[in-house]
Structure 1
Amino acid sequence: MTSVDAPWLTARHEVEHLFGQCILRLQAFELLLKLIVAGHHVSGSPATSQDTRASRIAEVRRKTLGGLVGEMMGSVLVPAGQEGQHDACDDDAEFACLVRIAFPVGEFARIETEHRELVALRNALVHHFLEEQDLRTEAGCLSARQALMTTLDRVTRAHADLQTWAAEMEQARRVMAEYVESPEFHDWIVHGQVPWHVTTIAQALVDAASELAPGGWTSVEAAVNWVLARRPGERPEMCGCRSWRQVIHESGLFDLQVREVDGRRQAWYRPRNRKADQPRCPVRHH
């Protein structure tokens, strides 16, 4: 090795080291993503739950990174207002648990774009790195090193986001597990007493009231239109009710009154103060 070759070899070794770091960090990102996608939706029966989970894990393991990101966006991570929509599940399932994280629409779009760009970045790194980077010269190696440092930073930030979301989902599962053990859950399953304060339809009505008339009375008709435009999957019959007005009355979470407006009798409602210690783990009826 000549003295002229030494700087080039040093730069080349740094490139190879950074390349390995990027690949390892991408694999860690992909493994965590597989765990999140495989575990966010569980359904079945006590007798089949283990087999169902094993089958789901095996299915997810065969997916490409692009397929995993595609499934995560809109299924695990959703735009605000779509968290109440549920995936299809087996009609014979005795239980179903779906954990999602909702983001404002703009934030969701940003996350989706960043993760799809990350897939393209990973594919270029694995399949085209030597085509795009000239490692035969010191200048080429320095350019490649800068590109790899940028890639490593992006993957590291994306992996950190996944770790945060995984922790939030695990916390939600713990809250749900504690709720399943509660007397309130027992009354719901055994006696059919709906735990209204944790249902997505009641939360949708609270959100509608907050948006349309903060702190005041909201027209039931206007609120229903607002909910259906944003959460079309919410329906009173899924909670055993014939109408939205019955949901408002039966839940006990709202004040309800009838007013005469332009010669028509119309229902209006407003949310009552909610106890601070009530659980915030939305349940969707099937």
Structure 2
Amino acid sequence: MKTLLAHHELAGPVDTLEAQRASRVDKLADKSLGTLVKALFESYAVVDDCERDLLPEGKTPTDRVAMAFSQRMVMAPERLAQARAAVEDLVAMRNQLVHHLIDRFDLWSDDGCAAAARHLEACYERIDQHFGELAGWARSMDEARALMASFTQSDAFRELVVNGIAPDGSFEWPVSGIVGVLRKAEQHLSEGGWTRLDRAREWMASTHPEQTPQKYGCRAWPQVLSESRQFDLEYRVGEDGRKLAWYRARALRSVRGARTERGGRGDKVAKGQP
């Protein structure tokens, strides 16, 4: 149970996650069985749609990479109530064995010892049953962690982390790779707060050639600037009479609600507005 609680959930800046895990192991080391059971059914064994914001706005540093992962055992309310009652019954039985076994049976007589032995055998059967169920939960968590480890080695995970593109193809413009390199180009090439798009394109082609409008369902760079809603875009007439695109980044805003589905022209915002 301590293993389940120590490893099923972590969140925060990536450079603190291992320290968090070690700290949680230490904090759980001396907790009573009753306290562990309460924590188990508050965060691990839960009903469906029991979501917690592990990276709340205002409390999560924005100057470092942060991530969160959570593994849970989701059950229907009736099944969860049964599981909780069974585990709490196990705690009560453990307390009775530790604190009241000698008071309950006359261990100075043969009959009392025989009765105590029968009681212990019955308790063992119940303990073995509950242990098997909890061990199954632990195996499920280990299997999920193994699948997650495999996913982190995949191209899909790299697309998610580097480019902000989820396995289903959706992405959030503010944290997308292409918006990130547009901001980097601006840092190198800005003139009076604005950046010429053609110069930015040349810089990005040489430093981040994998970042293209087509990767994000757009036909051209001006479409990226417009649909991402992360930049201001204007056109100016150059010295040679050509119309040139200039852009500047808007202030960073919340990522929430800016998820987009790829699909070329006519992409739709899946929820909310950025």
TM-score range for the pair, normalised by the shorter chain length:
0.5 to 0.7
SS in 2 for 1:73: helix
Q: 1:197 to 1:114 in 2, by over 3 A?
A: farther
RMSD of Structure 2 on Structure 1 (CA): 2.9
Q: CA deviation at 1:197?
A: 8.3
Matched, 1:78 2:94: no
The residue that corresponds to 1:35 in the other structure is 3
Is 1:166 aligned to residue 138 of structure 2? Answer: yes
Deviations 1:185-241 (A, max 9, x none): 222222222334899xxxxxxxxxxxxxxxxxxxxxxxxxxxxxxxxxxxxxx9743
Corresponding position of 2:219: none
| TM-score normalized with structure 2 length | 0.57
Amino acid at match of 1:116: E
- How is 1:72-221 mapped onto 2 (pairs within 5 angstroms)? 72-82=40-50, 84-86=51-53, 91-92=60-61, 94-196=66-168
Give 1 or 2 for the bigger CA radius of gyration: 2
Q: CA deviation digits over 1:16-42, x for unaligned, max 9? A: xxxxxxxxxxxxxxxxx1111111112
Shift of 1:128: 1.2
Correspondence 1:250 to 2:250: no
2:22 is equivalent to residue 60 of structure 1? no
Report how far residue 64 of structure 1 moved: 0.5
Distance 1:182 1:38, change over 3 A: same
- Specify the SS of the correspondent of 2:43: coil
Query: Could you give the per-residue CA deviations for residues 104-124 of structure 1, whole angstroms, max 9, x where no partner exists?
Result: 221111110011111111111
Aligned residues: 177
Can you list the C-alpha shifts for 1:251-273, whole angstroms capped at 9, x where unaligned? 88xxxxxxxxxxxxxxxxxxxxx
Higher RCO structure (Cα 8 Å, ≥6 apart): 1
Q: How does 1:208-247 map to 2 (within 5 A)?
A: 240-241=256-257
Q: Is the 8 A contact 1:196 1:251 kept in 2?
A: no
Shifted more, 166-175 versus 92-101: the winner is 92-101
Unmatched 5+ stretches in structure 1: 1-32, 200-237, 253-286
TM-aligned CA deviation for residue 129 of structure 1:
1.1
Q: 2 CA distance for matches of 1:75 and 1:63?
A: 16
What percentage of residue pairs aligned between the two structures are identical? 28
Distance 2:69 2:16 in 1: 14
Unaligned runs of 5+ in 2: 172-253, 264-274
Distance 1:137 1:197, change over 3 A: farther
2:78 and 2:150 mapped to 1: Cα distance? 33
* Whole-angstrom distance in 2 between the partners of 1:48 and 1:37: 18
